[in-house]
Amino acid sequence: MLLPMSHMFLQGAWAKLERAEFQFTKIKQKTISGFDSDQNPIQRKLDDRTGRVVWVWCDGNQKHWIDLSLDIGELFHNLRSCLDYIAWGLARTVTSTPFRRTAFPLLDNDSNWKSTTRNELRDVPRFGVEFIERFQPFQFRNRSFNRHLQIINKLNNIDKHALLNVAVTPLARADDETSIAGADLIESVGDIPLLEAKPGDELFSADGIPLDADSEDRFTFIDLIDEPRQGIILKTRGDIPRLIRAVRFVMTKADAGMLARQVD
């Protein structure tokens, strides 16, 4: 949403955040309510060998997952753009023509900070450079805020070059909580991510056990895979909102600082 008191140079950033929140609504529909519809690409099947009811992949055209992957990629692109818009807005407070590569860097190591300020932040005023430095991952070692911005940056970079690979994991209890973390692939079709699965393939857990389709299974996770058997688990109802809130927090602080200087 556009804030009534937002700085004029940050209105584009707030519009990007609003678009990301709209995309998140679409993702929730596809990962939660979508699984209760007739279009559900994962369905229960009786395993004749064991007599167990298991989850089976049944969508042959993969359109559901490709659409979901596109929505997720666009969400992360918009969240990452919010940060770059902040850097551009800060530069606009001192020049009408910022350096074309002006951006909000996210660095894990402070050794590159000085060279970054000479390039991506060359037109950003000192107070803006100090503000951006406060939110660098190297300032937040061992803190969750560090991971939030890193995840946004990493998945946006992956999505620029390749379709994000989407898998699902069951949530045993509706109130289960999982932190954002790098993790092994939890569930797939055997070792095959769902975007590469064939109709009729059975879903297995990471230890090779078929996933029982009992009443407790809740498919509410998405697993974004960027390397074989390595991914980032994001819980739709908890983790993605945390990423959105992290960006909103940075934007709110930037907006307040820019408005205060405007008044001064």
Per-residue pLDDT at 234 exceeds 80: no
Most confident of 37-46, 47-56, 99-108, 227-236: 99-108
| Residue at 109 is within a domain | yes
Per-residue pLDDT at 182 exceeds 70: no
Q: How confident is the model at residue 184 (pLDDT cuts 50, 70, 90)?
A: very low
Mean per-residue pLDDT, 240-262: 90
165-198 b/e (C-beta count within 10 Å ≥ 16 → b): bbbbbbbeeeeeeeebeeeebbbbbeeebbbebe
Mean per-residue pLDDT, 207-235: 56
Quick one: pLDDT at residue 239? Answer: 78
Task: Give the SS3 label for residue 2.
Answer: coil
Domains contained in the chain, number: 1
Per-residue pLDDT at 203 exceeds 80: no
Rounded to an integer, what is the distance from CA 58 to the centroid of its chain? 26
Which residue type is seen at 264?
D
Looking at the DSSP bridge assignments, the partners of residue 134 are: none
Quick one: pLDDT at residue 38? Answer: 57
- Per DSSP bridges, beta strands 230-235 and 219-227 are antiparallel
Quick one: pLDDT at residue 121? Answer: 96
pTM: 0.77
Which has the minimum average pLDDT: 23-27, 64-68, 87-91, 106-110?
64-68
Q: Which residue range forms the structural domain that includes residue 99?
A: 8-263
Q: How confident is the model at residue 190 (pLDDT cuts 50, 70, 90)?
A: low
| Residue at 1 is within a domain | no
Taking all residues of the chain, what is their mean pLDDT, rounded to a whole number?
76
Which has the minimum average pLDDT: 45-54, 82-91, 188-197?
188-197
Which has the minimum average pLDDT: 39-53, 146-160, 171-185?
171-185
Mean per-residue pLDDT, 219-239: 57
Per-residue pLDDT at 106 exceeds 60: yes
Which residue would you say has higher pLDDT here, 208 or 76?
76
Quick one: pLDDT at residue 222? Answer: 56
Quick one: pLDDT at residue 2? Answer: 47
Query: Which pLDDT tens digit goes with each residue over 5-43?
Result: 578 999 999 999 999 999 998 887 776 554 555 556 667
For CA atoms 42, 44, 46, 52, give the dihedral sign.
positive
Task: Pull the structure tokens for residue 198.
Answer: 């064939």
Which residue would you say has higher pLDDT here, 58 or 136?
136
Which has the minimum average pLDDT: 42-51, 173-182, 195-204, 242-251?
173-182
| Residue at 120 is within a domain | yes
| Residue at 228 is within a domain | yes
% of the chain exceeding 90 in pLDDT? 34
Is there a contact between 210 and 54 (Cβ–Cβ < 8 Å)? yes
Mean per-residue pLDDT, 238-251: 90
| Residue at 2 is within a domain | no
